[in-house]
Structure 1
Amino acid sequence: MAYLLCLPRRLFDVPYATVVTDRHGELLGARIAADGQWRFPPSDTAPDKFARCLIAFEDRHFYLHNGVNPAAILRAFVQNVRARRIVSGGSTITMQTIRLSRGERRTVGEKLVEIVLATRLECRYSKREILALYAAHAPFGGNVVGVEAAAWRYFGHSSAELSWAEAAMLAVLPNAPSMIHLSRNREALLRKRNRLLRELHRQGVIDDADYELALSEALPEEPLPLPALAPHLVADFQQTRPGERIVSTIDKGMQSQVEAVLARWHAEFAQQDIRDMAAIIVDVRTARVLAYCGNARFDERQPGSQVDIIRAPRSTGSILKPLLYCAAMQDGDILPRTLLPDIPINVNGFAPQNFSLQFEGAVPAAEVIARSLNVPSVVLLRRYGVPKFYDFLKRAGLTTLRRPASHYGLSLILGGAEATLWDVTAAYVDMARCLEGQPRIPLALAADEKQRRSTAPYVFTPGGVWLTFQSIKEVNRPEDIDWRTIPSMQTVAWKTGTSYGFRDAWAVGVTPRYAVGVWVGNASGEGRPGIVGARTAGPVLFDLFNLLPAATWFDVPGDGALVEAEVCRQSGCLKGRFCDASDVVPICPNGQRTEPCPYHIRVNLTPDGRFRVYENCMSEASAVPANWFVLPPAWEWYYRQQHPEYRPLPPFMPGCGDDSDRPMQFIYPQDAFARITLPRQLDGTPGVVTFELAHSDPNATVFWHIDGNYTASTRDFHKLSIHLDPGLHTLTVVDDRGHTLSATIRVEAS
């Protein structure tokens, strides 16, 4: 019984290095073991060439004995007596494996223990397994332990690729690693290696050609650095799976190309003091990550270089706008080309601006997303609902929304929230997989991850995704060329984002085969004028797509994902009674519930078309009915500056007007009852409030009244800046034709 229990259940209780390979087993990188040794996790087998060299050098009867070779021990005893010192131990490979596991001093008593344990080891393990244990734990000089680590440190490749000369050198190294080392006694090491090669040739293990070639190989000069691809990923696995050999999903060739692209762009951006960059590439069909570059300069050891940006929460900028567009279309809030207002707005002090600092009055929803206009996006979010979109984003997989929806407010769509490049890219992968009819599964980084179908269903619908991708594939590309005219350029649905203060630049793109995410900026959060998505992350994105095989575009989804509808060509709404031009376009089924076009109305004109009239003002035969496209006054004022073809409604014929006609609209305040907080000036005194109005008649004069008292008049640009005391006030405006408009304002001191 004592014999059966004498061998520990775990023979080697030592820490191992964390080793990460690509999906084909190619080494990406490793992190040293906790005891400072380069000791790779053991394999099930020893490399064939190394095993044959080891047996020929150390234990030619390895396959014949049961762990102990009495003849070898007797021979060693005689040699030691004659030399009056220990010159040979007579140990078999099995006995040496036991000695490596115990780490005790070499004494006669210890030798007896090794003999007993060696026979016990042969009972538990096969010869193949014993060779593997020895190969994984033998010393190879310095802090290199195990043949796999030695192969990489001395020859720069795996042990499976060892040449006969390399295998022979490694076979003789454990015999006396402290005496025979690459940096000293090289001649002795070379003699031992060549002597072993000669023995292999004599035994017929290697032929004449292999023998001559092996003899001609030089010894390595010094240990080589291990590969250092995907260093942030390797560091992450060191934290989560220390001491393991992890087969990742990374493709080594693609990873190398991605890192080269990022290194080139980093050198260019560094001149603008933009120091950090990250990128990820995902196979859409499998949801497995093919390239993972957490930062472009891991080895520089500069502040921020060790930060894995892919996992770091960063301000989203505009990168979430397509998700809002998709959600609103799926729920039937808008159609693809529904006009959204692009006018100055101020919601409780939040006054977003477009990147161009210009307004266009009204812009189709698809164009809003393609051009990344801020103001219409805020209007859309306000219409859709912040809590509703907040919940949508959480269900889409954004894990960084840790505060309530009210904390973010309308800024949620303009970078008021943080997200990781991992989560954002995963959301776009989900969209592509949903459109392709594939189940929802999480992204994977390790080959042994079980990508089980997510219990949470997609928040996207195939129809909503297809319409969204149709919009963002039209985004102008950084090359400033018409990509549609170049057959070699693949179609990509993509979006950029730039955070407030030019701190984060994003670009995410997707095809049916791949999704690519890019972030550019400074890990420290320092802003720079050049950190703009379209100027930095965008060019990097398309350089990465140029590395990838092209794919045909997504098919139009079936099974009722889209329905055809007749929509007004000018407003993008469902065709109304008075719409003259229309198109039949695909929309999401819920879009059928949207209201018909409210912007086309029927009017009666005088025969010369100069005035509007009512039927009772002119005989039916004389009135000329017409359908007219009319935008709200605040929209119209900006819209007609960009659209010279837009025709404002003619005024009513004198004596045939209508007091209910509303040619004016407040831009600020937008609501009939508004709450305004007075800003403080630098000296601490209350600031002024600026009111703004749009009038459909560019020549109109507007008279402003506060609390019933005349204050000022304006013409052309209708703005009024005024000091108001805290409290309730009434704002009334009257134009020179007698039209009036009022709003109630509660002013509060800040």
Structure 2
Amino acid sequence: MGGKLIKFLKHLSITRKVMLSCITLLVIGYIFCLPRQLFHVPYSTVVTDRNEELLGARIASDGQWRFPPRATTPEKIKQCLITFEDKHFYHHWGVNPLSIGRAFYQNTKNKRVVSGGSTLTMQTIRLARNKSRTVSEKFIEVVLATRLEFRATKEEILSMYISHAPFGGNVVGLDAASWRYFGHSAEDLSWAESAMLAVLPNAPAMIHLSKGRTTLLAKRNRLLKQLFEKKIIDSSTYELAISEPLPDEPHPLPQIAPHLVSRFYQERNGAYSRSTIDRGIQTQIEDMAERWSNEFSRSDIRNLAILIIDIPTNQVIAYCGNVHFEQQKGGYQVDIIQAPRSTGSILKPFLYYAMLKEGSLLPHTLLPDIPININGFTPQNFSLQFEGAVPASEALARSLNIPAVTMLQKYGVPKFHHFLQQIGFKTINKPSSHYGLSLILGGAEATLWDVTNAYAEMGRILLVQKDDAYNILSQNEKAHILLAMNGEEETNTYELFNHQTKNKQSPFIIQKEGLKEASGAAWQTLSALTEVNRPEEIDWKSIPSMQTIAWKTGTSYGFRDAWAVGVTPRYAVGVWVGNATGEGKPGLVGAQTAGPVLFDIFNLLPSSSWFASPTGIFVEAEVCKQSGHLKGRFCEETDTLLILPIGLRTEACPYHHQITLSTDESHRVYENCANTEPTIQKSWFTLPPVWEWYYKQHHPEYKPLPPFKAGCGEDAIQTMQFIYPSMNAHIKLPKQMDGSKGFMTVELAHANANETIFWHLDNSYITQTQNFHNISLQPSPGKHLLTAVDSKGNTVSTTFFIE
């Protein structure tokens, strides 16, 4: 074949060879004359809800409202455009010779341009090239238009045109024009509206809403009449259409979820983005946020943020990043959902969950609630009171700080820090030593986005009940929280929420074998959180219509941040209230501000029944009723509770002891003590002295141990304990107003309230106390030994350092 071609070319004359070469070059040039990308223009950032209803948009970088190109053209617009601009659109190859001939004759006769003769395909090329209208440019348009017809379908050409046609002012494209002129989408245009938009690109500078309205109306009605004559519309539709008035002025674009739209603008500038927001719920949440913001503004609390996640689908359905977006002052432009804020107590449930899951805690284990000083760190409860000992579940429900600190001390700050990072707290990114024990009390910063998702993840675990639940959960993790779709394929979707979605398993589950422990721990944690007192101060359990909600509040140091997060099987709701500037306010407390907003939201959302109890996870165990530990040898009152199997490893009750009492229980005796009176053996619940000191003030039923019979030996059980300072504490003495060195206050608890205590510092006697055992000291810098001796000779000592 190649040989024949060469032989054929040899027999051609030079002229014919030149002609053949020119033809070949022309054909090649024609094939490649059309750019691969026809339009090189910036587009507006457009964000819609899950049903593709517009939430908002941001103008293109060239100042034009030009929405991203459409894939299809609405039928009404299509009929109007073809009737008005190019009646033979479906029958030519980009050029209509008759139209061009007619235009040439009319323009020559009138000695000016009165008709263009361009087809819709040629107009599409002209819009893409944006060149001056000359004879040579018209020739180029003809060539490129025919080439475009070979590349694209008629529907694609129509979509290109309608997406880039000018509609007056800075409005470009059908979608922008529909929203700007009529306040709704192009799919909802009436015949009158479609006809008006079809005639506008013909002369957008001469006829528009503020200029040439009479001409615009006449053109629109003339087109409607043509549609009626062609029987595209019937007589009643025609009469209704011509009676519709023109819009008075452009409409502002919707401003729904403006902070989310701004976020898309920053991350996907110029793209069309479909989110999972439910526009109906979003608008109700924004209205509610405005009402609450007006209420809080009386206390100079200006900012409020709300996030709602649909737990089963793992999708955000409402995103209120702040209020009053239109105002430039007051921090209203700040998207609080993405802003790191001090966590307050909002992380406590995750520590409770982690300790349950690893078997270092049972749900109701007694925890100390006493004054503590850990290397100068002296946490306080919000109430500034101490209760001695509190069950872990109650401490969580009441958000007590001291039990939480002791839990974290036992669990380990590095381990908890690592766990928080695993479950998606991206802003907790400093070394664990930076936070220390304050990590559990607001020493770290987190975003409302991460906090709400972490709570939602805990709820999502409980939706998985079957043996193949692990695989189901893995699929859920692939679900996108916020999607911005360029097409139908998953590869074209955009993951705005990239928090752990790339993992194939829940961040709460490190291994497949840990699913049961995770589900059980999540169940126990959320169950404890249903006991948190609600803002309504009513017995909500007695009202059948009120749904069960697990919720938690948080208040940061200095009253700068108020948090509330709630979980049901359907929704996770996160609320933040405060000032974006970080300014604290006395009334800025989670339970008083964010809490009422949270329950107002749940009253708005559809209710759901509580999580089904996990099956095949828990085992029955006998637990001491008073201590919450596993039943010990001497525990008499017990409960049978369902606990995680790993919980069987925990310590048996250390607080019940068997003691020998006189028959009247007035005093104790040692078994090896010379004693002739009858005695009895009895189990006794005894707390450490410091715990006991505070515990008995809140529990009148608590009975301290009776004293020993006189002359019957030393007490084998510790009767006194230092409250402050703790062993090996490093203390920095404060300065007084005059600049002189201040004092430290030493405090001690004794089982016998009336006991006399003799104090010794560095083996030197200094004073004695009775009833209230606290003294003020002013030690010199260095190491010191403090010893306390009671009247029976019992001693206790502690070492501390003055810096």
Which TM-score bucket, shorter chain as reference?
Answer: over 0.9
Aligned to 1:379: 406
The share of aligned pairs that are identical, in percent, is: 61
Please give the secondary structure, in 2, of the residue aligned with 1:702.
strand
Aligned to 1:615: 671
Return the match for 1:667 from 720, 723, 727.
723
Q: Distance in 2 between matches of 1:49 and 1:152?
A: 16
Return the match for 2:73 from 12, 37, 46.
46
Aligned to 2:39: 12
Task: Note if 1:454 corresponds to 2:504.
Answer: yes
Task: Note if 1:491 corresponds to 2:548.
Answer: yes
Q: Distance in 1 between matches of 2:186 and 2:793?
A: 92
Q: Distance in 1 between matches of 2:703 and 2:592?
A: 37
Aligned to 1:577: 633
- What's the CA shift for 1:653? 1.0
- What's the CA shift for 1:676? 2.2
| Higher mean displacement: 572-581 or 437-446 | 437-446
- What's the CA shift for 1:457? 4.6
Task: Note if 1:81 corresponds to 2:108.
Answer: yes
| Higher mean displacement: 608-617 or 642-651 | 608-617
- What's the CA shift for 1:588? 2.0
Q: Distance in 1 between matches of 2:522 and 2:155?
A: 55
Aligned to 1:105: 132
Structure 1: segments with no counterpart, 5+ residues: none
* Superposition map of 1:277-426 within 5 A: 277-426=304-453
Check whether the contact 2:47–2:272 (CA below 8 A) recurs between aligned residues. Answer: yes
Task: Note if 1:159 corresponds to 2:186.
Answer: yes
Q: Quick one: structure 1 residues 389 and 664, their matched pair in 2 at CA, closer, same or farther if it must change by over 3 Å?
A: same
Return the match for 1:222 from 249, 252, 260.
249
Aligned to 1:631: 687
Check whether the contact 2:529–2:550 (CA below 8 A) recurs between aligned residues. Answer: yes
- What's the CA shift for 1:619? 5.9
Check whether the contact 1:491–1:553 (CA below 8 A) recurs between aligned residues. Answer: yes
Check whether the contact 2:424–2:507 (CA below 8 A) recurs between aligned residues. Answer: no
- 1:368-404 deviations in Å (ceiling 9; x for gaps): 0000001111111111111111111111211112211
| Higher mean displacement: 436-445 or 504-513 | 436-445
Return the match for 1:678 from 733, 744, 747.
733
Task: Note if 1:546 corresponds to 2:609.
Answer: no
Q: Distance in 1 between matches of 2:650 and 2:677?
A: 36
Q: Quick one: structure 1 residues 371 and 154, their matched pair in 2 at CA, closer, same or farther if it must change by over 3 Å?
A: same
- 1:111-149 deviations in Å (ceiling 9; x for gaps): 111111111111111111111001000000000000110
- 1:35-82 deviations in Å (ceiling 9; x for gaps): 110001111111211111011111111111111111111222222223
- What's the CA shift for 1:488? 2.1
Aligned to 2:802: 747
Please give the secondary structure, in 1, of the residue aligned with 2:610.
coil
Task: Note if 1:724 corresponds to 2:740.
Answer: no
Q: Distance in 2 between matches of 1:169 and 1:535?
A: 54
One-letter amino acid of the counterpart of residue 482, structure 2: L
Return the match for 1:735 from 787, 790, 794.
790
* Superposition map of 1:514-529 within 5 A: 514-529=571-586
- What's the CA shift for 1:331? 1.6
- What's the CA shift for 1:582? 0.3
Check whether the contact 1:615–1:623 (CA below 8 A) recurs between aligned residues. Answer: no
- What's the CA shift for 1:453? 4.4
- What's the CA shift for 1:615? 2.8
Q: Distance in 2 between matches of 1:456 and 1:545?
A: 26
Q: Distance in 2 between matches of 1:531 and 1:446?
A: 34
Check whether the contact 1:704–1:713 (CA below 8 A) recurs between aligned residues. Answer: yes
- 1:290-311 deviations in Å (ceiling 9; x for gaps): 1111112211221311111111
Q: Distance in 2 between matches of 1:645 and 1:620?
A: 31
Aligned to 2:119: 92
Check whether the contact 2:302–2:330 (CA below 8 A) recurs between aligned residues. Answer: no
Q: Distance in 2 between matches of 1:430 and 1:346?
A: 35
Please give the secondary structure, in 2, of the residue aligned with 1:232.
helix
Return the match for 1:479 from 520, 532, 536.
536
Check whether the contact 2:45–2:272 (CA below 8 A) recurs between aligned residues. Answer: yes
Give the TM-score, by structure 2 length: 0.91
Structure 2: segments with no counterpart, 5+ residues: 1-27, 465-472, 485-492, 496-500, 510-516
Please give the secondary structure, in 2, of the residue aligned with 1:612.
coil
- What's the CA shift for 1:618? 6.3
Q: Distance in 2 between matches of 1:125 and 1:429?
A: 47
Q: Distance in 1 between matches of 2:57 and 2:781?
A: 66
- What's the CA shift for 1:737? 2.4
One-letter amino acid of the counterpart of residue 367, structure 1: E
* Superposition map of 1:59-208 within 5 A: 59-208=86-235
- What's the CA shift for 1:170? 0.2
One-letter amino acid of the counterpart of residue 609, structure 2: T
Check whether the contact 2:397–2:532 (CA below 8 A) recurs between aligned residues. Answer: yes
Please give the secondary structure, in 1, of the residue aligned with 2:665.
coil
One-letter amino acid of the counterpart of residue 132, structure 1: S
- What's the CA shift for 1:660? 3.6
* Superposition map of 1:238-257 within 5 A: 238-257=265-284
Aligned to 1:444: 481
One-letter amino acid of the counterpart of residue 202, structure 1: E
Please give the secondary structure, in 2, of the residue aligned with 1:613.
coil
Name the Cα RMSD after superposition: 1.5
Q: Distance in 2 between matches of 1:138 and 1:333?
A: 68
Q: Quick one: structure 1 residues 453 and 392, their matched pair in 2 at CA, closer, same or farther if it must change by over 3 Å?
A: closer
- What's the CA shift for 1:701? 1.7
Task: Note if 1:594 corresponds to 2:650.
Answer: yes
One-letter amino acid of the counterpart of residue 686, structure 1: K
Q: Distance in 2 between matches of 1:217 and 1:720?
A: 89
Check whether the contact 1:136–1:145 (CA below 8 A) recurs between aligned residues. Answer: yes
Give the TM-score, by structure 1 length: 0.97
Q: Distance in 2 between matches of 1:380 and 1:663?
A: 25
Q: Distance in 2 between matches of 1:529 and 1:610?
A: 51
Please give the secondary structure, in 1, of the residue aligned with 2:604.
coil
Aligned to 1:266: 293
Return the match for 1:504 from 561, 586, 589.
561
Q: Distance in 1 between matches of 2:602 and 2:506?
A: 30
One-letter amino acid of the counterpart of residue 468, structure 1: T
Task: Note if 1:468 corresponds to 2:518.
Answer: no
Q: Distance in 2 between matches of 1:266 and 1:124?
A: 55
Q: Distance in 2 between matches of 1:262 and 1:724?
A: 55
Aligned to 2:763: 708
Q: Distance in 2 between matches of 1:187 and 1:250?
A: 41
Q: Distance in 2 between matches of 1:388 and 1:444?
A: 28
- 1:525-544 deviations in Å (ceiling 9; x for gaps): 00001111001111111111
Q: Distance in 2 between matches of 1:356 and 1:55?
A: 75
Check whether the contact 1:661–1:739 (CA below 8 A) recurs between aligned residues. Answer: no
Q: Distance in 2 between matches of 1:192 and 1:302?
A: 46
- What's the CA shift for 1:682? 4.2
One-letter amino acid of the counterpart of residue 411, structure 1: S
Q: Distance in 2 between matches of 1:620 and 1:396?
A: 65
- What's the CA shift for 1:674? 2.9
Q: Distance in 2 between matches of 1:369 and 1:243?
A: 47
| Higher mean displacement: 356-365 or 384-393 | 384-393
Q: Quick one: structure 1 residues 701 and 58, their matched pair in 2 at CA, closer, same or farther if it must change by over 3 Å?
A: same
Q: Distance in 1 between matches of 2:215 and 2:112?
A: 21
